[in-house]
Chains A and B, each alone.
Chain A
Amino acid sequence: MSNAPQSAQVGDTLPLLEFGPITRTTLALYAGSSGDHNPIHIDLDFAKRAGMDDVFAHGMLSMAQLGRVVTDWAGIERLRGLSSRFTAITPVGATVTCTGRVAERLDQDGEPMLRIALTATIDDGTQTLRGEALISAA
């Protein structure tokens, strides 16, 4: 269930978000639209020379999904912070499932805030991102 930010309680979960499957086309479009042209994500020959079996998805493509989990629910106007640790590589073909959970209610300079714990997980259960967001609950 998901209350509005003003009335949300610790433990409330945000609506789940699924993104994918991530294709090579997705990665080409993300490289183009983000300006991140690192060849490890789009050039198989380069990836193999670097000792990888295949290209893999930009971590920031998944972080964009963590951002969506929060802003779809609370609105980008409330977003004060978003952070992520990239804990595993996201392979081509993966579908990313993103979760959000209200982890803490706090007060920052007199403004009520919520800390949201975020995760991204791929089909085989591997957690690929672990993050958090800070939003205004005013």
Chain B
Amino acid sequence: MGIFNRSSAGYEAAPVEVQVERGAITFFAETVGETNPIHSDVAAARAAGHPDVVAPSTYPVVLEMAASKETERKGQQEVLNLIGADMRYLLHGTESYSYQGLIFAGDTIDIISRVKGFSDAKGGTLEIAHLELEIRHASRGTLAIAQRDLIHRLPKEAAA
């Protein structure tokens, strides 16, 4: 039953180094409609006491995608692939961030992905993967922890 590769529970990926880029933050901030200039204007960010433009609240998801692409480039297996996610049936159930520090353009960070486990819902018609992601800076420590539930709405032949 199910499509997820449940033997991946407990997996922790090796840290993936990602550069936080000013242009990328600005592009993202503009796309989501951010109007606070600390996310797009270095002078405004510095005037507010920050070293460079500040990553918006949901930026951890962007850093995760960057880490995942970097993992693929190295020829290693990224988490969606590892857990056996099928994009045709995949839904995003929940996303949760806890913040311990701001992320700035110019930061070099490490991303650590973990597969926490799997569960079933709605009489076996849904299966859920529980994932976690840590964003760590060499001197400032853990900046954010993201938790995510991904859901397969199972086609009949894969349901329990």
Contacts and interface: CB of A to CB of B under 8 A. Distances in A.
Given A29-B31, A30-B32, A83 B56 contact: no
A57 B61 CA distance: 15
A59 B58 contact: no
A56 to B, nearest CB: 10
B9 interface: no
Interface residues of B, number: 35
Q: Is the interface of B mostly helix, strand, loop or mixed?
A: mixed
A81 B96 contact: yes
Contact of A59 (B27, B92, B98, B102): B92
Contacts of B28: 33-34
Given A68-B34, A71-B56, A84 B94 contact: yes
B99 to A, nearest CB: 6
B88 interface: yes
Contacts of B68: 35
Interface residues of A, number: 38
Contacts of B95: 59-60, 63, 83-84, 86
Contact of A60 (B33, B61, B89, B96): B61
A121 to B, nearest CB: 17
Interface string A22-50: 00001001101111111110000010011
Interface in B86-144: 87-99, 102
**Chain A at the B interface: SS class:** helix
A61 to B, nearest CB: 7
In the A-B complex, the 9 residue pairs with the smallest Cβ-Cβ separation, listed nearest first, are A35-B65, A67-B57, A83-B96, A64-B32, A50-B88, A33-B28, A33-B31, A33-B27, A59-B92
23 contacts: A19-B32, A19-B33, A30-B31, A33-B24, A33-B28, A33-B30, A33-B31, A34-B62, A35-B68, A40-B88, A64-B33, A67-B56, A67-B57, A67-B58, A70-B57, A76-B38, A76-B57, A79-B57, A80-B99, A81-B99, A84-B94, A84-B95, A86-B94
Interface of A: 19, 26, 29-30, 32-40, 46, 49-51, 59-61, 63-65, 67-68, 70-72, 76-77, 79-86
Given A64-B32, A79-B99, 11 more contacts: A35-B65, A38-B87, A40-B87, A60-B95, A61-B32, A63-B58, A76-B54, A82-B99, A84-B94, A86-B92, A86-B94
Interface of B: 24, 27-28, 30-36, 38, 54, 56-58, 61-62, 65-66, 68-69, 87-99, 102
